[in-house]
Amino acid sequence: MSFDDITQKTYCPFAKQSKMGPGITIRTDDVENELARHRDVIADFFRTAAERSRDGMIITFEEPTLGITLDALTDLTRRFYTTLTQMFSSVYIPDNPQPDERWYAMIEGELFFLVSFAPCYPETSPRYTYGDQRTYFLLQPVSTFERHAKFIDRQRTGIQCAFAAVGKPYDARLANLENDMFKAVMPIDSLGDHISWWVPEDSTQ
């Protein structure tokens, strides 16, 4: 199983046609140090994403424990973004973010979104990995949405119906939040709620 296989099994037609840039593989649970070694690759992808019409970049985490539970995935997401803040000054985490605020991550002038696929998600989830124990982070530059705006609008209803037809919930409430960073971790049960991945596990907040 690979991310390409997962993409081909998805019920989202946009995902199946996506044009990906070079991928990155994190082989151990030392996420911070391994990710930092790929700074130039990440920077080059976002610097040239619009010019090369790239729709995304895949980061593969091979350590199964990093996405085996929703809590583990939430922790991985926090570690990922925290490391990016140390690598790129344009990535930041506010002290007290609000769902109605505008908060984006940006690298090399390109805003981007994070979509995660992990073994913690059940078969009914659109983030299901079909038995693959690796975790995948799909980084999507905003320029891809601008480039495919008409196609996405035309397919939006069809995408929701396709997921619903096979019992995979597609809840638009989370997707419609103003603050896109709140969408980085998809819940398993209450799909309309957000997960505060930026709050450390041992925090009293």
**Which tokens belong to 161?**
């119906």
Residue 186: the pLDDT is 92
What are the pLDDT digits (tens) for 112-128?
A: 999 999 999 999 888 99
pTM of the model: 0.84
pLDDT digits (tens, 9 = 90+) for 19-59: 899 999 999 999 999 999 999 999 999 999 999 999 999 99
The b-or-e profile of 13-46 (16+ CB within 10 A means b, else e) is ebbeebeebebbebeeeebeebbeebeeebeebb
